[in-house]
Amino acid sequence: MKILVINGPNINMLGVREPEIYGDKSYKALTEKIKCYAKAKGVKVKLFQSNYEGDIVTEIQRALNIFDGIVINPAAYTHTSVAILDALKSVNIPAVEVHISDVPAREEFRQISYVKQYCFKTITGHGLEGYIEAIDSLIERAEGKV
């Protein structure tokens, strides 16, 4: 099984960026945590982070016929991007939406998520552990358990 993990703008600033909201672990620590877990589970994983909406759209398009699952934290684009939603719909690969912070408890402008319409699951407020839960959900779905 091959899983693509996509992170949107400012996720590369983890550890520096608002640590009271996003924690003190770096993006590198997140990538290592994910790679280590994927290896233990026998899953191939690719990590992609971009601050550019179009690059995220292109990466999703490139996943067609290559990846079996997508974990996506579109970050601020969650609340604005119809293009990312449409890209996910285009490739039709099972996807899980992840947010590090507890988005439902935050500002009104964060309450809309476009990708939520496509993703079969949303994990929010579980910190970096949310990515691990998302990988588990994709594995379970591939095994026909979800």
**Cβ atoms 63, 132 nearer than 8 A:** no
**Long-range contacts of the stretch 52-56 (C-beta < 8 A, 24+):** 52/9, 53/77, 53/81, 53/83, 53/84, 54/83, 56/6, 56/8, 56/81, 56/84, 56/87
Is 79 an annotated catalytic residue? no
Binding mask 54-83 for ligand DQA (x = CB under 6 A): -------------------x-xx-x-----
**Of 77, 99, 114, 131, which one is the catalytic site residue?**
99
| Sign of the Cα pseudo-torsion (85, 89, 92, 94, in order) | positive
Shortest approach of ligand DQA to residue 78 CB, angstroms?
A: 5
**Segment contacting ligand DQA by CB under 6 A, of 50-58, 62-70, 94-102, 136-144:** 94-102
Task: Name the amino acid, one letter, at 110.
Answer: R
The least CB distance from residue 143 to ligand DQA, in Å, is 27
Give 10's DSSP letter: T
Stretch touching ligand DQA by CB under 6 A, among 24-32, 38-46, 97-105, 136-144:
97-105
Where does this chain bind ligand DQA (CB under 6 A)? Answer: 10, 73, 75-76, 78, 99-101, 103, 110
